[in-house]
Amino acid sequence: MWKLRIEDMKRHLSDLEHKSYDRAKDRSDRNAVFVNAFGLLTPWAVQVLGDMNVWLVNDMGTVSVNEPVPDGDGGINGSWTLTWPKLEAAMNVHNGKPLEPVSIDAVYPSHWTHGHIARLHEGLPAEVTAWPMQVLTEEDAARQEPILRAIAEAELHERLYQANGDWQMVLPD
């Protein structure tokens, strides 16, 4: 696995060195790289969340694609989400709010050099767990599948924690 990710890390470090995003220099060109990467990743993210839907929520869920849009601060963000009736009915025991869908995020804040595949932390907008989003080809996108699966699993685990360990939220009826 790590051997496959070396290319992503090398491209990531090159971006930082050259203040570019896969060779794109100005922000509009970098945004285009991000939007293209999002499109290439979409079939993989949908498959990952679709698998979770089939195997863990009895195919009762809905997978959604939220195309990249401006974040209100000069950046752009998109996401892929999974929700299902038991999740929608559950409340977060820590803040009393409804649980958020399981989400894999693609983020490109205005002050970042390039986009990332991320797991955003609710209530902590400045804190993300992120992986380089170095995706120019279908091959690059396929290489991200383990990252997408790790994020989805972490998200699901977090929802169970937020639901006070309600394991019945995910098992098939």
Domain boundaries, the chain: 2-169
pLDDT of residue 127: 61
- Do the beta carbons of residue 120 and residue 131 sit within 8 Å? no
pLDDT of residue 126: 57
CA angle 80, 86, 90 (to 5 degrees): 95
pLDDT of residue 123: 54
Phi, psi of 111 (to 5 degrees): -95, 5
Query: What SS3 string covers 128-171?
Result: EEEEECCCCCHHHHHCCHHHHHHHHHHHHHHHHHHCCCCHHHCC
What pTM did the predictor assign? 0.92
In 3-state terms the chain splits into helix, strand, coil percentages (rounded to 5) of: 45, 20, 35
- And the tokens for 42? 């979409």
pLDDT of residue 4: 78
List the chain residues with pLDDT less than 50.
124
Q: What is the DSSP letter of 8?
A: H
pLDDT of residue 19: 95
